């Protein structure tokens, strides 16, 4: 990663106890019977930081709150509590000039290019739109030149053959490259990439990932990379955060995916990955179904599915705490699992005063 320039903060993004709750609309019968309002706790107290030029992967099952976390950071959904900071300022800042700057420096690549691209617009209009609304004045010649440059950077060459096509004339991989070109055209400092390669085949997937890494290397772009694929997170990330039911269960170096994870949920996800081993190994597979985010279990929200559950787990909700250098876990018995894994000696919880405990 490049050095932090003078006047910049080390962390480009700081998320502090972020919460996003959605109230379920009550039916006429619920109102008539006086039933209480139900709330979906999609994100329920998430804290992490993202350094400049870093790729942090957010991993978890469907419904764990990954996408909602990314959208809340970009202020695309309303926050119910906590805050998200960008360059030290709250993304909920209502100053018009600051918001214009924020939209230029923070972009999102949506998961489904079939839904995110307007079918009525030509590719030249889709890719150049961020330039046309960023507040700076660009003449038509400059707009066209930068659009061509962005398309070719995204691997659509020669760009002139794509400019005046519509999304329905492109393949899925080509559509995703258009979405990436539109996100990259402003050279943002931060990108939320929501499952950007989940719909693509293996060869196209590798090209898209290489594009993202190239952007990081040339422009020091930071990524929040949202995925359900642990092997992909290990491949592209500097750090990995594993979410479950709106909470981060574990966060640390990408090496935790290679076997140094300590949370039972992380362990189960890793054990579900295919291996090249000839002899079958013991796997800690998940049991049961994910509880409803409307009615969360008491104590640790993973306890109903945990193979190591103990009485304390069903009474007290564990906090995310430091268990090693840059390694945090939300488990009452993380140190015990760490010592059994042989991943290293646990580091006592000392808060921010201990550099090894910094996220």
How many CA atoms lie less than 13 Å away from 114 in the CB half-sphere? 6
Tokens of 161: 């053959």
d(C-alpha 359, C-alpha 354), whole Å: 11
Mean residue pLDDT across the chain: 84
Cα dist. 188→88, 194, 206, 306 in Å? 17, 16, 22, 40
Q: Is 172 helix (H, G, I), strand (E, B) or coil?
A: helix
Query: What is the Cα–Cα distance from 225 to 231, expressed in whole angstroms?
Result: 13
Q: What is the pLDDT of residue 121?
A: 94
**Structure confidence at residue 28 (pLDDT):** 65
Assign 302 a pLDDT band (cuts: 50, 70, 90): very high
- The pLDDT tens digits for 328-337 are 999 998 888 7
pLDDT(351) > 60: no
| pLDDT for residue 269 is more than 80 | yes
Does position 135 have pLDDT exceeding 80, yes or no?
no
Higher pLDDT, 37 or 153: 153
The count of residues in the chain is 359
Element (H, E) at 190: strand 190-194
Please give the residue that has the higher pLDDT: either 61 or 166.
166
pLDDT tier at 3 (50, 70, 90 boundaries)?
very low
- Name the more confident of 6 and 144: 144
pLDDT tens digits along 181-214: 999 898 899 999 998 887 777 777 888 888 888 8
For residue 278, name the pLDDT band (cuts at 50, 70, 90): low
* Kind and range of the H or E run holding 16: strand 11-24
The token pair that represents 259 in the structure block? 């076997």
Is the omega angle on the peptide bond into residue 158 within 30 degrees of 0, that is, cis?
Answer: yes
- Scan for tokens 């899925």, then name that residue: 172
Distance CA 261, CA 338 (A): 8
- Give SS3 for 186: coil
Sheet holding 11-24, edge to edge: 38-51, 11-24, 81-86, 89-90
Contacts of 188 (CB under 8 A, 6+ apart): 104, 105, 106, 107, 221
Tokens of 5: 């320039």
Can you tell me which residue has the tokens 């990314």?
70
Nearest-Å Rg of the Cα atoms of the chain is 22
Tell me how crowded residue 280 is: count the other CB atoms within 10 A of its CB. 7
Specify the DSSP element, H or E, that contains 249.
strand 247-253
The pLDDT of residue 158: 93
Sheet of 321-324, strands arranged across: 106-109, 190-194, 222-227, 55-59, 239-244, 247-253, 327-329, 321-324
Query: What stretch of H or E contains 340?
Result: helix 334-341
CA distance 187 to 153: 11
| Beta-carbon-side half-sphere exposure of residue 347 (alpha carbons within 13 Å) | 19
1 CB-near residues (< 8 Å, 6+ apart): 51, 52, 53, 54, 220
The four Cα atoms 179, 180, 183, 189 give a dihedral, to 10 degrees, of: 160
- Say what the pLDDT of residue 358 is: 64
Model confidence at 97, in pLDDT bands (50, 70, 90)? confident
Q: Is 57 helix (H, G, I), strand (E, B) or coil?
A: strand
Q: How far apart are CA 148 and CA 161, in angstroms?
A: 10
Highest mean pLDDT among 152-156, 275-279, 310-314: 310-314
In 137-261, which residue ranges form alpha helices assigned H by DSSP? 140-153, 172-184, 202-219, 230-236
What is the model's pTM? 0.86
pLDDT score of 36 more than 60: yes
């Amino acid at each position: 990663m490049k050095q932090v320039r003078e006047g910049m903060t080390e962390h480009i993004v700081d998320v502090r106890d972020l919460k996003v709750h959605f109230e379920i609309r009550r039916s006429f019968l619920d109102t008539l019977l006086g039933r209480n309002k139900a709330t979906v706790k999609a994100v329920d107290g998430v804290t992490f930081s993202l350094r400049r030029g870093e790729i942090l992967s957010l991993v978890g099952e469907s419904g764990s709150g990954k996408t909602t976390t990314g959208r809340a950071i970009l202020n695309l959904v309303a926050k119910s509590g906590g805050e998200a900071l960008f360059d030290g300022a709250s993304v909920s800042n209502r100053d018009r000039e600051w918001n214009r700057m924020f939209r230029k420096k923070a972009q999102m690549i949506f998961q489904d290019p079939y839904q995110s691209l307007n079918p009525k617009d030509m590719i030249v209009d889709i890719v150049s739109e961020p330039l046309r609304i960023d507040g700076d004045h660009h003449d038509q010649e400059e707009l066209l030149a930068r659009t061509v440059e962005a398309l070719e950077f995204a691997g659509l060459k020669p760009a002139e053959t794509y400019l005046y096509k519509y999304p329905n004339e492109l393949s899925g991989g080509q559509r995703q490259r258009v979405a990436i070109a539109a996100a990259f055209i402003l050279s943002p400092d931060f990108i939320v990439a929501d499952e950007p390669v989940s719909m693509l085949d293996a060869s196209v997937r590798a090209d898209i990932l290489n594009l993202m890494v190239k952007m990081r290397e040339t422009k020091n772009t930071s990524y929040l990379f949202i995925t359900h694929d642990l092997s992909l997170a290990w491949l592209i990330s500097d750090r990995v955060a594993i979410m479950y039911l709106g909470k981060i269960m574990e966060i640390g170096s990408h090496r935790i995916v290679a076997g140094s994870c300590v949370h039972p949920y992380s362990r189960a996800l890793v054990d579900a990955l295919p291996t090249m081993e000839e002899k079958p190994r013991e796997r800690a597979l998940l049991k049961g179904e994910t509880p409803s985010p409307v009615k969360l279990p008491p104590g640790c929200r993973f306890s109903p599915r945990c193979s190591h559950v103990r009485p304390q787990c069903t009474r007290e909700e564990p906090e995310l705490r430091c268990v090693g250098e840059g390694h945090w876990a939300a488990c009452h018995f993380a140190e015990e699992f760490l010592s059994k894994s042989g991943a290293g000696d646990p580091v006592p919880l000392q808060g921010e005063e201990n550099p090894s405990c910094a996220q």
